[in-house]
Chain A
Amino acid sequence: MFSILRTLWNILLHSFRPRVTIQYPDEKPYLAPRYRGRIILSRDPDGGERCVACYLCAVACPVDCISLQATEDEHGRRYPDFFRINFSRCIFCGYCEEACPTYAIQLTPDFEICEYDRQNLVYEKEDLLISGPGKYPDYSFWRVAGVQIGGKAKGESEREDAPADVRNLLP
Protein backbone atom coordinates (compact mmCIF):
# COMPACT_ATOMS: atom_id res chain seq x y z
CA MET A 1 0.00 0.00 0.00
CA PHE A 2 2.72 2.38 0.99
CA SER A 3 4.76 1.45 -2.05
CA ILE A 4 1.84 2.36 -4.30
CA LEU A 5 1.62 5.77 -2.72
CA ARG A 6 5.36 6.20 -2.96
CA THR A 7 5.21 5.29 -6.62
CA LEU A 8 2.52 7.84 -7.20
CA TRP A 9 4.59 10.46 -5.44
CA ASN A 10 7.74 9.63 -7.35
CA ILE A 11 5.94 9.77 -10.65
CA LEU A 12 4.41 13.08 -9.67
CA LEU A 13 7.88 14.42 -8.97
CA HIS A 14 8.75 13.75 -12.61
CA SER A 15 6.68 16.83 -13.43
CA PHE A 16 9.79 18.82 -12.51
CA ARG A 17 12.36 16.77 -14.36
CA PRO A 18 13.89 17.92 -17.67
CA ARG A 19 12.53 16.31 -20.86
CA VAL A 20 14.73 13.77 -22.57
CA THR A 21 13.03 14.10 -25.92
CA ILE A 22 15.17 15.50 -28.71
CA GLN A 23 13.02 17.76 -30.88
CA TYR A 24 14.15 15.86 -33.98
CA PRO A 25 13.62 17.85 -37.12
CA ASP A 26 14.73 21.07 -35.37
CA GLU A 27 17.46 19.43 -33.39
CA LYS A 28 19.61 16.61 -34.90
CA PRO A 29 20.51 13.70 -32.67
CA TYR A 30 24.01 12.28 -32.41
CA LEU A 31 24.20 8.89 -34.11
CA ALA A 32 27.07 6.48 -33.46
CA PRO A 33 29.09 5.34 -36.48
CA ARG A 34 27.70 1.84 -35.95
CA TYR A 35 24.13 3.08 -36.01
CA ARG A 36 21.96 0.76 -38.09
CA GLY A 37 20.42 2.93 -40.76
CA ARG A 38 20.35 2.92 -44.54
CA ILE A 39 22.29 0.03 -46.07
CA ILE A 40 25.08 0.59 -48.56
CA LEU A 41 27.44 -1.58 -50.59
CA SER A 42 31.07 -0.64 -50.23
CA ARG A 43 34.10 -1.05 -52.45
CA ASP A 44 37.42 -2.63 -51.56
CA PRO A 45 40.61 -0.57 -51.27
CA ASP A 46 41.34 -0.99 -54.99
CA GLY A 47 37.95 0.40 -55.89
CA GLY A 48 36.38 -2.87 -57.03
CA GLU A 49 32.99 -3.99 -55.86
CA ARG A 50 33.34 -5.78 -52.56
CA CYS A 51 30.17 -7.80 -52.89
CA VAL A 52 30.89 -11.31 -54.16
CA ALA A 53 27.22 -12.26 -54.45
CA CYS A 54 27.41 -15.07 -51.92
CA TYR A 55 23.73 -14.71 -50.97
CA LEU A 56 24.47 -14.82 -47.24
CA CYS A 57 22.90 -11.42 -46.54
CA ALA A 58 19.80 -12.49 -48.42
CA VAL A 59 19.43 -15.67 -46.41
CA ALA A 60 20.18 -13.94 -43.12
CA CYS A 61 17.53 -11.29 -43.75
CA PRO A 62 14.56 -12.02 -41.50
CA VAL A 63 12.14 -10.13 -43.74
CA ASP A 64 13.68 -11.46 -46.96
CA CYS A 65 14.04 -7.99 -48.40
CA ILE A 66 17.36 -8.58 -50.17
CA SER A 67 17.55 -10.30 -53.52
CA LEU A 68 20.42 -10.55 -55.92
CA GLN A 69 21.83 -12.60 -58.75
CA ALA A 70 25.44 -13.69 -58.91
CA THR A 71 27.48 -13.46 -62.05
CA GLU A 72 31.17 -13.59 -62.95
CA ASP A 73 33.48 -11.51 -65.07
CA GLU A 74 35.64 -13.24 -67.63
CA HIS A 75 38.40 -13.80 -65.08
CA GLY A 76 36.22 -15.50 -62.52
CA ARG A 77 35.65 -12.57 -60.18
CA ARG A 78 32.14 -12.93 -58.87
CA TYR A 79 29.88 -9.94 -58.38
CA PRO A 80 26.16 -9.29 -58.24
CA ASP A 81 24.41 -8.87 -61.56
CA PHE A 82 21.69 -7.05 -59.70
CA PHE A 83 21.37 -6.34 -56.02
CA ARG A 84 18.07 -5.13 -54.67
CA ILE A 85 17.00 -4.08 -51.21
CA ASN A 86 13.37 -3.34 -50.56
CA PHE A 87 13.68 -0.71 -47.81
CA SER A 88 9.93 -0.66 -47.36
CA ARG A 89 10.41 -4.08 -45.76
CA CYS A 90 13.81 -3.60 -44.13
CA ILE A 91 13.79 -3.59 -40.35
CA PHE A 92 17.40 -2.41 -40.01
CA CYS A 93 18.36 -5.36 -37.85
CA GLY A 94 21.87 -5.49 -39.26
CA TYR A 95 21.92 -9.26 -39.75
CA CYS A 96 23.02 -8.75 -43.34
CA GLU A 97 26.07 -6.84 -42.19
CA GLU A 98 26.85 -9.57 -39.64
CA ALA A 99 26.51 -12.26 -42.30
CA CYS A 100 28.61 -10.50 -44.93
CA PRO A 101 31.95 -12.28 -45.29
CA THR A 102 33.52 -9.44 -47.22
CA TYR A 103 32.35 -6.33 -45.32
CA ALA A 104 30.57 -5.29 -48.50
CA ILE A 105 27.17 -4.62 -47.03
CA GLN A 106 27.22 -2.03 -44.24
CA LEU A 107 24.62 -0.09 -42.33
CA THR A 108 25.12 3.65 -42.07
CA PRO A 109 23.85 6.32 -39.65
CA ASP A 110 21.52 7.73 -42.28
CA PHE A 111 17.93 7.00 -41.46
CA GLU A 112 16.16 9.80 -43.30
CA ILE A 113 14.93 7.75 -46.24
CA CYS A 114 11.20 8.44 -46.22
CA GLU A 115 9.39 8.59 -49.53
CA TYR A 116 5.88 9.53 -50.58
CA ASP A 117 5.91 6.70 -53.12
CA ARG A 118 6.73 3.33 -51.64
CA GLN A 119 8.19 2.18 -54.94
CA ASN A 120 11.05 4.64 -54.43
CA LEU A 121 12.15 2.60 -51.41
CA VAL A 122 13.32 -0.20 -53.68
CA TYR A 123 17.04 0.37 -54.04
CA GLU A 124 19.04 -1.26 -56.81
CA LYS A 125 22.78 -1.84 -56.87
CA GLU A 126 23.46 1.55 -58.43
CA ASP A 127 21.64 3.20 -55.54
CA LEU A 128 23.42 1.16 -52.91
CA LEU A 129 26.99 1.21 -54.12
CA ILE A 130 29.22 3.90 -52.59
CA SER A 131 32.64 4.82 -53.81
CA GLY A 132 34.68 3.98 -50.70
CA PRO A 133 35.40 1.09 -48.34
CA GLY A 134 33.12 2.32 -45.54
CA LYS A 135 33.92 1.15 -42.03
CA TYR A 136 36.68 -1.33 -42.91
CA PRO A 137 39.17 0.59 -45.04
CA ASP A 138 41.86 -2.10 -45.35
CA TYR A 139 40.03 -5.34 -45.94
CA SER A 140 39.95 -7.02 -49.31
CA PHE A 141 38.32 -10.43 -49.61
CA TRP A 142 40.02 -11.26 -52.87
CA ARG A 143 43.47 -10.88 -51.31
CA VAL A 144 42.78 -13.77 -48.93
CA ALA A 145 40.38 -15.93 -50.95
CA GLY A 146 42.05 -18.87 -52.64
CA VAL A 147 40.45 -18.39 -56.01
CA GLN A 148 41.94 -16.94 -59.10
CA ILE A 149 40.67 -13.64 -60.47
CA GLY A 150 41.88 -11.15 -62.98
CA GLY A 151 45.18 -9.73 -61.74
CA LYS A 152 45.73 -12.44 -59.17
CA ALA A 153 46.85 -15.87 -60.26
CA LYS A 154 46.79 -19.09 -58.23
CA GLY A 155 49.15 -18.96 -55.29
CA GLU A 156 49.25 -15.17 -55.13
CA SER A 157 46.78 -14.69 -52.32
CA GLU A 158 47.99 -13.98 -48.80
CA ARG A 159 49.62 -16.98 -47.11
CA GLU A 160 49.66 -19.19 -50.16
CA ASP A 161 52.39 -21.31 -51.67
CA ALA A 162 53.02 -21.24 -55.37
CA PRO A 163 50.86 -23.76 -57.26
CA ALA A 164 52.09 -27.32 -56.87
CA ASP A 165 53.92 -28.93 -59.76
CA VAL A 166 51.92 -32.12 -60.11
CA ARG A 167 54.59 -33.73 -62.25
CA ASN A 168 57.21 -33.45 -59.53
CA LEU A 169 57.58 -36.71 -57.64
CA LEU A 170 60.31 -35.62 -55.23
CA PRO A 171 59.33 -36.44 -51.68
Chain B
Amino acid sequence: MNEAIIHVITVLGVLFVVLNIAAGLIWVERRLLALWQDRYGPNRVGPFGLLQVAADTVKLFFKEDWIPPFADKAVFVLAPAIVMLTALMSFTMIPVAPGIQISDLNIGLLFVLGMSSLGVYSVVLGGWASDNKYALLGGLRAAAQMLSYEVFMGLSLMGVVLLAGSFRLSAIVDAQRHMWFVVPQFLGFVLFMIAGVAETRRLPFDIPEAESELVAGFHSEYSGMKFGMFFVGEYVGVVLISVLITVLFFGGWLGPGLVPIAWFLIKVFAFIGLFILLRASLPRPRFDQLMSWGWKLMLPLALCNLVVTGAIVMATRR
Protein backbone atom coordinates (compact mmCIF):
# COMPACT_ATOMS: atom_id res chain seq x y z
CA MET B 1 0.00 0.00 0.00
CA ASN B 2 2.64 2.45 1.10
CA GLU B 3 4.84 1.39 -1.75
CA ALA B 4 2.04 1.93 -4.22
CA ILE B 5 1.54 5.51 -3.02
CA ILE B 6 5.25 6.19 -3.27
CA HIS B 7 5.14 4.76 -6.75
CA VAL B 8 2.29 7.00 -7.81
CA ILE B 9 4.04 10.01 -6.30
CA THR B 10 7.20 9.12 -8.21
CA VAL B 11 5.30 8.79 -11.46
CA LEU B 12 3.47 12.07 -11.00
CA GLY B 13 6.64 13.78 -9.80
CA VAL B 14 8.68 12.71 -12.80
CA LEU B 15 5.85 13.68 -15.13
CA PHE B 16 5.50 17.05 -13.44
CA VAL B 17 9.18 17.80 -13.44
CA VAL B 18 9.79 16.63 -17.01
CA LEU B 19 6.90 18.61 -18.45
CA ASN B 20 7.81 21.70 -16.50
CA ILE B 21 11.41 21.50 -17.52
CA ALA B 22 10.31 21.02 -21.12
CA ALA B 23 8.02 24.03 -20.97
CA GLY B 24 10.57 26.07 -19.08
CA LEU B 25 13.08 25.21 -21.76
CA ILE B 26 11.14 27.33 -24.18
CA TRP B 27 12.04 30.33 -22.09
CA VAL B 28 15.54 29.08 -21.37
CA GLU B 29 16.26 28.50 -25.01
CA ARG B 30 15.02 31.91 -26.07
CA ARG B 31 16.99 33.64 -23.36
CA LEU B 32 20.16 31.67 -24.10
CA LEU B 33 19.91 32.18 -27.83
CA ALA B 34 19.41 35.88 -27.20
CA LEU B 35 22.39 35.95 -24.88
CA TRP B 36 24.64 34.38 -27.49
CA GLN B 37 23.27 36.69 -30.15
CA ASP B 38 23.87 39.77 -27.98
CA ARG B 39 20.17 40.35 -27.45
CA TYR B 40 17.86 40.17 -24.44
CA GLY B 41 15.20 37.74 -25.48
CA PRO B 42 11.85 37.71 -23.75
CA ASN B 43 12.29 40.00 -20.78
CA ARG B 44 9.03 41.89 -20.46
CA VAL B 45 6.48 39.37 -19.19
CA GLY B 46 7.07 38.90 -15.48
CA PRO B 47 10.49 38.89 -13.83
CA PHE B 48 13.15 38.15 -16.48
CA GLY B 49 10.35 37.37 -18.86
CA LEU B 50 9.63 34.16 -17.00
CA LEU B 51 5.91 34.42 -17.53
CA GLN B 52 6.47 34.38 -21.26
CA VAL B 53 5.96 30.62 -21.13
CA ALA B 54 2.63 31.04 -19.43
CA ALA B 55 1.64 33.71 -21.92
CA ASP B 56 2.61 31.47 -24.82
CA THR B 57 0.70 28.56 -23.35
CA VAL B 58 -2.39 30.65 -22.88
CA LYS B 59 -2.03 31.87 -26.43
CA LEU B 60 -1.71 28.33 -27.76
CA PHE B 61 -4.78 27.24 -25.82
CA PHE B 62 -6.84 30.05 -27.23
CA LYS B 63 -5.81 29.50 -30.83
CA GLU B 64 -8.40 27.97 -33.08
CA ASP B 65 -8.06 24.20 -32.97
CA TRP B 66 -8.02 23.89 -36.70
CA ILE B 67 -8.00 20.71 -38.72
CA PRO B 68 -7.63 21.42 -42.43
CA PRO B 69 -10.62 20.09 -44.38
CA PHE B 70 -8.34 18.14 -46.68
CA ALA B 71 -6.42 16.42 -43.87
CA ASP B 72 -6.78 12.79 -42.76
CA LYS B 73 -8.48 13.72 -39.52
CA ALA B 74 -7.87 10.73 -37.27
CA VAL B 75 -4.19 10.47 -38.10
CA PHE B 76 -3.84 14.22 -37.98
CA VAL B 77 -5.00 14.23 -34.35
CA LEU B 78 -3.05 11.11 -33.42
CA ALA B 79 0.35 12.26 -34.66
CA PRO B 80 1.10 14.94 -32.03
CA ALA B 81 -0.10 12.59 -29.29
CA ILE B 82 2.44 9.96 -30.36
CA VAL B 83 5.36 12.30 -30.02
CA MET B 84 4.47 13.14 -26.42
CA LEU B 85 3.59 9.59 -25.55
CA THR B 86 6.79 7.94 -26.74
CA ALA B 87 9.04 10.58 -25.21
CA LEU B 88 7.30 10.42 -21.85
CA MET B 89 7.30 6.60 -21.88
CA SER B 90 11.09 6.63 -22.12
CA PHE B 91 11.29 8.55 -18.87
CA THR B 92 9.83 5.59 -17.00
CA MET B 93 13.22 3.88 -17.37
CA ILE B 94 15.37 6.76 -16.19
CA PRO B 95 17.17 6.33 -12.87
CA VAL B 96 17.12 9.88 -11.55
CA ALA B 97 18.68 9.03 -8.21
CA PRO B 98 18.85 5.94 -6.10
CA GLY B 99 15.27 4.99 -5.45
CA ILE B 100 13.78 7.56 -7.76
CA GLN B 101 12.98 5.50 -10.77
CA ILE B 102 9.58 4.49 -12.04
CA SER B 103 10.55 1.16 -13.46
CA ASP B 104 13.90 -0.53 -13.51
CA LEU B 105 13.57 -3.02 -16.35
CA ASN B 106 16.50 -5.25 -17.12
CA ILE B 107 16.21 -4.18 -20.79
CA GLY B 108 15.67 -0.53 -19.89
CA LEU B 109 18.05 0.80 -22.55
CA LEU B 110 16.40 -1.25 -25.30
CA PHE B 111 13.01 0.06 -24.18
CA VAL B 112 14.24 3.63 -24.45
CA LEU B 113 15.69 3.00 -27.92
CA GLY B 114 12.46 1.31 -28.98
CA MET B 115 10.33 4.26 -27.83
CA SER B 116 12.60 6.65 -29.61
CA SER B 117 12.12 4.62 -32.82
CA LEU B 118 8.36 4.78 -32.44
CA GLY B 119 8.64 8.55 -32.12
CA VAL B 120 9.39 8.65 -35.85
CA TYR B 121 5.78 7.75 -36.53
CA SER B 122 4.45 10.97 -35.13
CA VAL B 123 6.46 13.01 -37.57
CA VAL B 124 5.82 10.81 -40.58
CA LEU B 125 2.12 10.48 -39.87
CA GLY B 126 1.77 14.17 -39.10
CA GLY B 127 3.41 15.03 -42.42
CA TRP B 128 1.33 12.50 -44.27
CA ALA B 129 -2.02 13.36 -42.72
CA SER B 130 -1.62 17.06 -43.42
CA ASP B 131 -1.98 16.44 -47.16
CA ASN B 132 0.31 19.32 -47.90
CA LYS B 133 3.37 19.11 -50.09
CA TYR B 134 5.66 20.81 -47.58
CA ALA B 135 4.39 18.68 -44.73
CA LEU B 136 4.81 15.53 -46.80
CA LEU B 137 8.37 16.46 -47.79
CA GLY B 138 9.12 17.20 -44.13
CA GLY B 139 7.66 13.87 -43.08
CA LEU B 140 9.70 12.03 -45.70
CA ARG B 141 12.88 13.72 -44.65
CA ALA B 142 12.12 12.93 -41.02
CA ALA B 143 11.57 9.27 -41.80
CA ALA B 144 14.82 8.98 -43.72
CA GLN B 145 16.85 10.97 -41.23
CA MET B 146 15.55 9.31 -38.11
CA LEU B 147 15.83 5.78 -39.49
CA SER B 148 19.42 6.40 -40.57
CA TYR B 149 20.52 7.91 -37.28
CA GLU B 150 18.57 5.35 -35.27
CA VAL B 151 20.90 2.66 -36.53
CA PHE B 152 24.17 3.96 -35.20
CA MET B 153 22.50 5.55 -32.21
CA GLY B 154 21.84 2.05 -30.92
CA LEU B 155 25.24 0.79 -32.04
CA SER B 156 27.07 3.64 -30.37
CA LEU B 157 25.56 2.61 -27.04
CA MET B 158 26.59 -0.99 -27.35
CA GLY B 159 30.06 -0.11 -26.09
CA VAL B 160 28.51 1.19 -22.90
CA VAL B 161 26.42 -1.95 -22.59
CA LEU B 162 29.52 -4.10 -23.10
CA LEU B 163 31.40 -2.24 -20.41
CA ALA B 164 28.53 -2.31 -17.97
CA GLY B 165 27.46 -5.78 -18.92
CA SER B 166 23.80 -4.87 -18.58
CA PHE B 167 20.90 -3.13 -20.32
CA ARG B 168 19.55 -2.11 -16.97
CA LEU B 169 20.05 1.64 -16.69
CA SER B 170 20.58 1.68 -12.94
CA ALA B 171 23.22 -0.99 -13.42
CA ILE B 172 24.91 1.15 -16.05
CA VAL B 173 25.03 4.06 -13.65
CA ASP B 174 26.39 1.85 -10.94
CA ALA B 175 29.08 0.55 -13.30
CA GLN B 176 30.44 4.09 -13.55
CA ARG B 177 31.37 4.44 -9.89
CA HIS B 178 35.06 4.39 -10.73
CA MET B 179 35.11 5.93 -14.11
CA TRP B 180 32.46 7.67 -16.22
CA PHE B 181 32.00 5.83 -19.47
CA VAL B 182 32.74 9.00 -21.39
CA VAL B 183 36.40 8.25 -20.93
CA PRO B 184 36.57 4.73 -22.38
CA GLN B 185 33.65 5.37 -24.69
CA PHE B 186 34.52 8.89 -25.89
CA LEU B 187 33.83 8.00 -29.50
CA GLY B 188 30.56 6.40 -28.48
CA PHE B 189 29.63 9.58 -26.63
CA VAL B 190 30.32 11.81 -29.62
CA LEU B 191 28.34 9.52 -31.92
CA PHE B 192 25.44 9.30 -29.50
CA MET B 193 25.44 13.05 -29.04
CA ILE B 194 25.21 13.62 -32.80
CA ALA B 195 22.57 10.95 -33.23
CA GLY B 196 20.66 12.42 -30.30
CA VAL B 197 20.54 15.82 -31.91
CA ALA B 198 19.33 14.24 -35.12
CA GLU B 199 16.74 12.16 -33.26
CA THR B 200 15.25 15.23 -31.65
CA ARG B 201 15.31 17.07 -35.00
CA ARG B 202 17.15 19.97 -33.40
CA LEU B 203 19.33 22.38 -35.24
CA PRO B 204 21.62 21.81 -37.04
CA PHE B 205 19.62 18.71 -37.95
CA ASP B 206 16.15 20.27 -38.16
CA ILE B 207 15.89 19.21 -41.77
CA PRO B 208 12.30 17.90 -41.49
CA GLU B 209 11.25 21.35 -40.35
CA ALA B 210 13.64 23.49 -42.40
CA GLU B 211 11.58 26.65 -42.22
CA SER B 212 13.60 28.33 -44.94
CA GLU B 213 12.73 25.59 -47.42
CA LEU B 214 9.57 23.84 -46.24
CA VAL B 215 7.58 26.56 -44.48
CA ALA B 216 7.41 24.55 -41.25
CA GLY B 217 7.98 21.05 -42.58
CA PHE B 218 5.86 18.28 -41.16
CA HIS B 219 3.87 20.53 -38.83
CA SER B 220 3.04 23.23 -41.41
CA GLU B 221 -0.67 22.60 -41.06
CA TYR B 222 -0.70 22.33 -37.28
CA SER B 223 -1.86 25.07 -35.00
CA GLY B 224 -3.12 25.55 -31.48
CA MET B 225 -2.38 22.87 -28.91
CA LYS B 226 -1.65 20.23 -31.52
CA PHE B 227 1.23 22.37 -32.63
CA GLY B 228 1.97 22.89 -28.94
CA MET B 229 2.35 19.12 -28.49
CA PHE B 230 4.92 18.95 -31.26
CA PHE B 231 6.61 21.96 -29.77
CA VAL B 232 6.75 20.61 -26.21
CA GLY B 233 7.45 17.10 -27.52
CA GLU B 234 10.60 18.44 -29.08
CA TYR B 235 11.75 19.86 -25.75
CA VAL B 236 10.84 16.66 -23.93
CA GLY B 237 13.05 14.93 -26.48
CA VAL B 238 15.87 17.36 -25.72
CA VAL B 239 15.52 16.62 -22.01
CA LEU B 240 15.42 12.91 -22.72
CA ILE B 241 18.60 12.85 -24.78
CA SER B 242 20.37 15.00 -22.16
CA VAL B 243 19.22 12.63 -19.46
CA LEU B 244 20.42 9.64 -21.45
CA ILE B 245 23.83 11.16 -22.01
CA THR B 246 24.04 11.88 -18.31
CA VAL B 247 23.01 8.39 -17.37
CA LEU B 248 25.03 6.51 -19.95
CA PHE B 249 28.24 8.47 -20.16
CA PHE B 250 28.48 10.85 -17.22
CA GLY B 251 27.61 8.70 -14.27
CA GLY B 252 24.03 9.73 -13.73
CA TRP B 253 23.50 10.88 -10.14
CA LEU B 254 27.08 10.02 -9.14
CA GLY B 255 29.21 12.82 -7.86
CA PRO B 256 30.89 14.05 -4.73
CA GLY B 257 29.39 16.20 -2.04
CA LEU B 258 25.95 17.13 -3.26
CA VAL B 259 22.82 15.01 -3.09
CA PRO B 260 22.53 12.63 -6.04
CA ILE B 261 19.55 14.34 -7.58
CA ALA B 262 21.41 17.64 -7.66
CA TRP B 263 24.29 16.09 -9.57
CA PHE B 264 21.82 14.56 -11.94
CA LEU B 265 20.09 17.86 -12.66
CA ILE B 266 23.36 19.79 -13.01
CA LYS B 267 24.62 17.34 -15.59
CA VAL B 268 21.32 17.28 -17.47
CA PHE B 269 21.13 21.09 -17.64
CA ALA B 270 24.69 21.28 -18.87
CA PHE B 271 23.76 19.11 -21.82
CA ILE B 272 20.58 21.02 -22.46
CA GLY B 273 22.76 24.11 -22.58
CA LEU B 274 24.99 22.37 -25.07
CA PHE B 275 21.99 21.57 -27.24
CA ILE B 276 21.04 25.23 -27.29
CA LEU B 277 24.59 26.27 -27.98
CA LEU B 278 24.61 23.97 -30.98
CA ARG B 279 21.47 25.61 -32.24
CA ALA B 280 22.96 29.05 -31.75
CA SER B 281 26.17 28.18 -33.58
CA LEU B 282 25.79 25.73 -36.40
CA PRO B 283 24.12 26.07 -39.78
CA ARG B 284 21.87 23.40 -41.19
CA PRO B 285 23.55 20.87 -43.54
CA ARG B 286 22.02 19.84 -46.79
CA PHE B 287 19.78 16.81 -46.70
CA ASP B 288 22.09 14.67 -48.88
CA GLN B 289 25.08 15.66 -46.73
CA LEU B 290 23.19 14.58 -43.65
CA MET B 291 22.35 11.21 -45.12
CA SER B 292 25.83 10.52 -46.41
CA TRP B 293 27.40 11.41 -43.05
CA GLY B 294 25.01 9.12 -41.31
CA TRP B 295 25.60 6.11 -43.47
CA LYS B 296 29.15 6.61 -44.68
CA LEU B 297 30.84 8.11 -41.63
CA MET B 298 28.86 7.64 -38.46
CA LEU B 299 27.77 4.07 -39.01
CA PRO B 300 31.29 2.77 -39.80
CA LEU B 301 32.67 4.67 -36.82
CA ALA B 302 30.02 3.19 -34.56
CA LEU B 303 30.84 -0.29 -35.83
CA CYS B 304 34.57 0.28 -35.28
CA ASN B 305 33.87 1.50 -31.78
CA LEU B 306 31.83 -1.59 -31.08
CA VAL B 307 34.44 -3.96 -32.52
CA VAL B 308 37.32 -2.30 -30.66
CA THR B 309 35.41 -2.10 -27.38
CA GLY B 310 34.34 -5.71 -27.78
CA ALA B 311 37.89 -6.78 -28.45
CA ILE B 312 39.22 -4.92 -25.41
CA VAL B 313 36.47 -6.23 -23.18
CA MET B 314 37.16 -9.77 -24.35
CA ALA B 315 40.88 -9.28 -23.87
CA THR B 316 40.60 -7.81 -20.36
CA ARG B 317 37.96 -10.31 -19.18
CA ARG B 318 40.15 -13.21 -20.24
- Chain B residue with the shortest CB-CB distance to A12: B277
The count of residues in chain A whose C-beta lies closer than 8 Å to any C-beta of chain B is 14
Q: Which residues of chain A are near B63, meaning CB under 8 Å?
A: none
Q: Which of B36, B38, B280, B281 contacts A20 (CB 8 A)?
A: B38
B45 contacts the other chain (Cβ, under 8 Å)?
Answer: no
The answer, yes or no, to whether B314 is at the interface (CB within 8 Å) is: no
Query: Contacts of A14 on B, CB cut-off 8 Å?
Result: 35-38
Is the CB–CB distance between B35 and A15 below 8 Å? yes
Shortest Cβ distance from B286 into chain A, in angstroms? 16
Q: Which residue of A lies closest to B37 (CB)?
A: A14
Structural contact, A19 and B277, CB atoms closer than 8 A: no
> A7 an interface residue at 8 Å Cβ cutoff?
yes
Q: Is the CB of B38 within 8 A of A11?
A: no
CA–CA, A23 and B39, complex, Å = 10
Do A21 and B277 have beta carbons less than 8 Å apart?
Answer: no
Q: Is the CB of A19 within 8 A of B40?
A: yes
CB distance from A1 to the nearest CB of B (A): 10
Contact between A7 and B282, CB atoms less than 8 A apart: yes
Contact with B along A1-22 (1 / 0, CB 8 A): 0001001101110110111110
The total number of A-B Cβ pairs within 8 Å is 32
Chain A interface main SS type: helix
Task: Give B35's nearest chain A residue, CB to CB.
Answer: A15
Within 8 A of B (CB), among A12-42: 12, 14-15, 17-21, 23
Bound form: Cα–Cα A23–B37 in Å? 16
Contact A12 B36 (CB under 8 A): yes
Judge whether B39 and A20 touch: CB under 8 Å: yes
Chain B proximity of A103: nearest CB distance (Å): 38
Residues in chain B near residue A18, CB distance under 8 A: 38
Chain A residues with CB under 8 Å of B37's CB are: 14
14 contacting pairs across A/B (C-beta < 8 A): A7-B281, A8-B277, A8-B278, A8-B281, A11-B36, A11-B280, A11-B281, A12-B36, A12-B277, A14-B36, A14-B38, A15-B36, A20-B38, A21-B39
Known: A8-B277, A12-B36, A14-B36. 10 other contacts (CB 8 A): A4-B281, A7-B282, A8-B278, A8-B281, A11-B36, A11-B277, A14-B37, A15-B36, A21-B39, A21-B40
